[in-house]
Structure formats: structure tokens, C-alpha cells
Chain A
């Protein structure tokens, strides 16, 4: 017998029990829908975060003091480590040491708040090159001009403030030229940034930038930096540049054993990889939880198929009398079961994609995220295969029961 005939027979069989077939596949539909939704949202989140990290430029490399943190408590250590100093900055700027670098910008984090005429605001205060930040995040002053290298060298008491800082402190007043107080010292506002929103690691709207040298000597009384950000020529030279930086700094710090480094180098690619891995693992974990519901759905299919086989005993007897072989009956019931779960899988994929699409619309419009809907093809293929497999596995037992029925007994069955 041709397989196309068996398919025909199975389709006729399923149609004859329409509403029951629909209920049978509900478990499969729910399982596949959940997997599709999780995978789609997972890859949407991954794309969003990766694009935000990538938005800082894959050429950006960060050098931080202390040992590379392996746990949350280690992060505190890097704040107190004082291994990165001006001499490191100077060394990195030399082309002979690190040929791949085009710009070096050391940074200092200043804790505390700022005030203007009694108004107080708690921004993120950083001693960092405003020009470097501008280029990295593609922001340029809405009003005023950035402080430049000369200001940095002269340790000028000037500040660039973010959009929210401007709104909170000054309201309608033009902030340019006004003096704000940081740790009771006056800083003249030279530029206000446009509204930018949350970026990967900082809210640029809540930032206050001052020259790093001023932050060191004038505010904190330290001579080290909390971080040195450098920009490589291109993404291709990043790995090579990372190595050059490590060699240069090790020489400068007299370190022979890389295990004993008092600094570590972070590339954007490394961060992208890490975040992607974490999200993928999370989505996979959640999907495997959803996969459990597929097993439950599969058992449901088996249950209904067994009922169906008993209920259709006479039909089986009749088919055998009309010339169906045991193999024909086995194939028919197996195919019915697979068709059921595959149809369930298709509905689940459509439903899951639809829900994921609606979710992406809600996230991008309500939460104002740059969220793009993705159709996870791999999840769809996986879902279909799992559904078909469930139909096969959970259909074999009922189908065997059906094929083993004796035609005489089956015809006599009331």
C-alpha cells in the first residue's frame, strides 16, 4: 500500500473525530507555544543587549585595575586598587608600545552629589574625557562645547552635564556658565548633553563629566585611575591590541606571571560573548522546562489514542476484513498520532510566534526599548521535530495494540 493512501486514511480518520482531535493536541500546542515564546523573547533580549554593548563600539577596550573579578565581591576590589596611573596612560599612548591604539582616556569615578542654589541631585560623576564619551556614544553637546585636552591638562574646574541633570537642577534656566558644586567645590557648566536614555552600562542622561585630572587632584586627592578606556583602530586589531596592552603594562609593573596581573583588559567582544552565552543558557533552561509540558502532552495523546483504538475496534476489524494488513493498521494509527502532534506543533509555532510578536510590540512601544521581533527558526525546527517525535513515541503503543487485534474478535466487538 502506498504511503499517500495511508496518509489519506489517517486524515479521514482524524476528521471523523474532529473535536476530540483538537482537544488531544492541546497539550502539544501549549508546549510548543511556550518554547517558541521563550526562544523568541530570549533571542530578542540577546539582540537588544548585544546591540547596546556593540553600540559602544567593538573597538573599545577597557583596562581595569586589580584582578579580573570572578564574583560579585571582587568588583569592590577593583575600586580600591590603585595600580593604574598616569605613567600607564603615557605608556599606552606610545605607538611603539601599542600600535593599534588611536585614543586613550583614563577615567575616575567620583562618588557623591552635586548642587546648584540649594537644589541637590545625585548623578553619576565621572572624571573622563568628554570628547571620548561623545565619540563613543555618539552624543554631542545640545548646548555649549565639550572641555578639551587642554582643560584636562590644566585641571580646569569645568563640567559637562547630562539631560536629566540639567532638567532637575536648572529647569528652564540656561545652565551654561553657571557654577555647580561638587564636594563643595565650584565647577562651571560648559556643555549640556541631549536626551539619550539608558545605554548599556550607564544612563548618559544622569552623568556629570569633569576632567579626570581635576577629579584626581582637586576632588579625591588620588593619583590613580579607576579605569582606562582605549579605542583601537578597528575591530580586527582588538585581539592583537589587547595582547600589546597586557605586555606593555606587565613590563611597566614588573610582572612576569600573568596570574599575578594587577590589571585586566576587557573587550566589548568578550562582554558580548559572555552576555550572549548567559541569555542562551537561560532560554535553553526555560525551554527545557517547557519541554516537560510536551511530555505531558504526549502522554495525553497516547491516552486518547488508546481510547480511540478501543472505540474503533469494529473499524479495525472491518479494515482487516477489507484487506488491511497488520502493517497497514499500525501505520494508520501511528500516522494519525504523528499527524495530531505535528498539527499541534504547527499551531504552537504560529501561536508562539504571534505571542512573541505581540510581546515585542508591547516592549518596544510601552517600555520604549529598541526591541526587534525575531522568529527563532532553530526553535521552530526543534519544536516540530520534538512534536513529531512525541507523536511517534507515544503513538507506537496504541498503534501496536490496534494492529494486533484479531479481525473476528474486532468484528464481534459491540
Chain B
């Protein structure tokens, strides 16, 4: 069964003067459990918009989005926040770590918003940090880490609640090619361990790491 499924998804942005800009124009696909999918496209192709909708951060103008069999229109904003917390993991291009806050506290962040008992936090955090091989950096602050290490902290943070799907938004965009490769290998490894990973990027070589590529052009899928 598909983990997520979009049907004829449309998103139109409207500015203050009423000018409409279509970002997505009837996109349909599904992603199954355990897949490693790259959504590729040039800048302006609508891939970020798509990721925001898939990640419950934004709503489509038209069409349907079903997650785990249920359409997300059924959920309130608060429900969606809880779902982001329990079911999704996010990795961003700019890492988005809290400054002046230790690696440990950064990785712990999603747990603070969860219903997971506090007694289990430490184990989860340590496990997540171990899986990105940063155990020796736990007490460090982001400013003391290299770009590749920062992104590994972000991956640990995305993993800590054991999400059903991980969304990575240009995770290698701010990294040199070597660090970028290392990050992609970690994502590959996670996928092999059973995590569903959706990666969006404009860099074509990244497609080689994934099992499947969805190409977007001007808000439409050109191959899947």
C-alpha cells in the first residue's frame, strides 16, 4: 500500500495584487513504504512547494493528498503539527540547527514536542547520534562543527522520533562534494535499514543514489 499518494495536486500562489502564479499544476504520484525517491527539477519547477505540501507545512489549492490512507484535509493545524512530529523527519539545506545549543539538545528538540516519555529520550538521542557517527561531538555546539557534521546532526534530529518518512530538502546544497557524498551515503544506509526517504534536489547526479526519480518541470511531472 502507498504510504503517501497525491492526485491532481495543484498549488496557485496569489500575491497582494491578486496576480496568480501556478506552482504545481496537476501532479499525481504515490510513494510506497521503504522507497528512496528523488524529486528533481530546476529552480522554480515547484519542487519546494511540493515538499512543503507533502510535509504538512502548506496546503494545496486543489487535488487530494492522502497520507497513510487518509486525506490530510481531515486534520486540524494542531493535528498536523503532531503528525509532523510523530511521522515525519525533515532535513534542510541550511541545516537549521539551534545556535549556541549542544548537539545533544539539538537532536533532542523533536522529543520535546512529542508524547514520548522523558525516560526514553536519552537513549533515543544517543542512538540517533550514533547512527550518524557523531558520538564524539555530543557536547559540541554547531559553531564548532564542519558543514558535513552539521548536516549529520540534522539527520540525527530527523531520525530521533523514528519517523515513517524522511524529507530532505537539498541536503547537499551547502556542502562540498565530498561531504555531500557522505550525506547521501548516510541517507542510502537509512533507506536500506527500512526508512522511506524523499529527497529533493536540482543536482542530477544525486539521482544515481536513489531508486526512483520524479522529474518536475514548470509544476508538472515529466517522468516518474
Contacts and interface: CB of A to CB of B under 8 A. Distances in A.
B122 interface: no
B85 A323 contact: yes
B84 interface: yes
B101 A322 contact: no
B105 to A, nearest CB: 6
B85 A407 contact: no
Given A408-B58, A411-B96, A323 B110 contact: yes
Contacts of A5: 112-113, 118
A403 B43 CA distance: 30
B112 A1 contact: yes
Nearest to B157: A322
Interface in B80-111: 81-82, 84-86, 90, 92, 94, 96, 98-101, 105, 109-110
A324 B58 contact: no
Contact of B57 (A8, A9, A17, A321): A321
A319 B52 contact: no
B50 to A, nearest CB: 12
A8 B55 contact: no
Given A408-B58, A411-B92, A323 B84 contact: yes
B85 A322 contact: yes
A321 B105 contact: no
A365 interface: no
B78 interface: yes
A317 B109 CA distance: 13
Contacts of B98: 12, 16, 315, 318
Contact of A322 (B78, B90, B94): B90
B77 interface: yes
A326 interface: yes
Nearest to A327: B78
Contacts of A322: 84-85, 90, 109-110, 113, 157
A322 B101 CA distance: 16
Contacts of A320: 57, 81, 84
A325 B90 contact: no
A324 to B, nearest CB: 5
A322 B77 CA distance: 13
Contacts of B204: none
A231 interface: no
B81 A323 contact: yes
Given A314-B96, A321-B90, A322-B90, A8 B82 contact: no
A90 B94 CA distance: 100
Contacts of B58: 408
Nearest to B99: A16
B82 A323 contact: yes
Contacts of A325: 77-78, 81-82, 113
Interface residues of A, number: 25
B7 interface: no
A323 B86 contact: yes
B71 interface: no
A16 B98 CA distance: 9
Contacts of B55: 321
Nearest to B89: A322
B114 interface: yes
A317 B85 CA distance: 13
A323 to B, nearest CB: 2
Contacts of B105: 12
A326 B77 contact: yes
Contacts of A1: 112-113
Interface in A1-57: 1, 5, 8-9, 12, 15-17
Interface in A75-122: none
Interface string B56-71: 0110000000000000
Contacts of B92: 318, 411
A324 B113 contact: yes
Contacts of B77: 325-326
A320 B96 CA distance: 12
A328 interface: yes
Interface string B147-167: 000000000010000000000
Nearest to B85: A323
A407 B101 CA distance: 21
B168 to A, nearest CB: 13
A317 B57 CA distance: 10
Nearest to A314: B96
B100 A16 contact: yes
Contacts of A315: 96, 98
Nearest to B160: A322
A1 B118 CA distance: 12
Contacts of B101: 12, 16
A328 B113 contact: yes
A143 to B, nearest CB: 77
Contacts of A319: 109, 113
B94 to A, nearest CB: 8
Given A321-B57, A411-B96, 14 more contacts: A1-B112, A5-B113, A16-B99, A16-B100, A17-B100, A315-B98, A319-B109, A320-B84, A321-B90, A322-B113, A322-B157, A325-B82, A407-B57, A411-B92
5 contacts: A16-B98, A319-B113, A320-B84, A325-B113, A411-B96
Which 7 A-B residue pairings sit nearest by Cβ, starting from the closest? Answer: A323-B85, A16-B100, A323-B113, A325-B81, A318-B96, A322-B110, A323-B84
